[in-house]
Amino acid sequence: MLAEERLAGSRANTRGKNANRRGLSRPVWSQEAEDFPRLNFQRDSVQGGDLRFACLGRLGRLISGFGRAERKAIEDTIRQPVRVLVSSTFHNNYSKGNLAYADVWKIGHENYRTDLFELMQREKVSAEEQKARLPNQTFRDRITLYLGGKEIQILYVGRAHTRGDSIVYVPQDRIVYLSELFFANQFLFINDGYGLDWLKALDAVEALGAEIFVPGHGPIPADPRETRQELRRFRQMLVDVRDAVQKEIARGATEDQAVATIRWPQYEKMQSYDAQRETAVRRLYQQLTGALK
């Protein structure tokens, strides 16, 4: 979700401090140094520790995954309304948060809108709720906004966690917000994902020229530039998943046999490993054998 507003007085941020900001979640990283004078990352531990982000700056603000209470806290803090919201994942635990932004202009990828609409149709969601959750504007490859003196790129880099993920890149700050394309220090969620495409999407992300890669889940290190290495470790996880499944296919294993055989000991202590190991094997098996198009 994206909102771009003017925020005066960003230099009131304390250097490296984790001070609370009027009811918002505590900052993961704050810095007033010359190279990053306008950034203030914050962590919201709501809903099982998912990383939600707010980039509060002298010229702009990016938000993701906040509900009504968080929206009010943000608006009280910056004394500006949220005007634009970018959604990425159609799953209920995220898209229902759009109800808190029914009055805001909403943007999402065309596949995001299609999948969200079909989900709500299956669940017989009311027409009023559908209107509040669906985007007002869709895009195919990219939308560029110019707000608060910044260029804000809303990009589609291909299928990954879902087939309609959006990312937000702010070239001036060299920050890219990756939603659920990037799980930091967690095993991947791939129920609706496409592992082979996901790898290509992450390669496209690396080519953007960003220095900071904000994950959809997990912590941001004290030095946010270290997120590049964490992103590469996450990519390696996808490679390891793919290679293990490919090896079982090459030796003639069925999907169920692959599920019974494949383990990744290096990741077994990660959050969500037990819940997602079988799903990861099955999704990659189906994609590698052509059953999943």
Query: How far apart, in whole angstroms, are the C-alpha atoms of residue 223 and residue 132?
Result: 38
pLDDT tens digits for range 56-96 = 332 234 444 457 887 887 788 878 888 888 999 999 988 99
Amino acid at 290: G
| pTM of this structure | 0.80
- Checking if the pLDDT of 247 tops 70, the result is yes
Written as six digits, the tokens of 129 are 């709720």
Secondary structure element (H or E) that encloses residue 108, with its range: strand 105-109
pLDDT tens digits for range 185-235 = 999 999 999 999 999 999 999 999 999 999 999 999 999 999 999 999 999
Mean pLDDT over each residue of the chain, to the nearest integer: 81
16-148-101 Cα angle (round to 5)? 85
Instruction: Tell me the β-bridge partners of 29.
Output: 41
| 87, 108 contact by CB (below 8 A) | yes
- Checking if the pLDDT of 16 tops 70, the result is no
| 168, 84 contact by CB (below 8 A) | no
Q: Residues 6 or more apart from 72 whose CB is under 8 A from it? A: none
Q: What are the extents of the domains in the chain?
A: 2-222
| pLDDT of res. 70 | 76
| pLDDT of res. 66 | 58
- Checking if the pLDDT of 20 tops 70, the result is no
What is the share, in percent, of the chain residues with pLDDT greater than 90? 67
Query: How far apart, in whole angstroms, are the C-alpha atoms of residue 286 and residue 283?
Result: 5
Q: Residues 6 or more apart from 16 whose CB is under 8 A from it? A: 30, 31
In eight-state DSSP terms, residue 56 is E
Query: How far apart, in whole angstroms, are the C-alpha atoms of residue 190 and residue 174?
Result: 28
CATH topology of domain 2-222: Metallo-beta-lactamase; Chain A (3.60.15)
Residue among 195, 192, 161 nearest 178 (CA): 161
- Checking if the pLDDT of 37 tops 80, the result is no
| 11, 38 contact by CB (below 8 A) | no
| pLDDT of res. 74 | 73
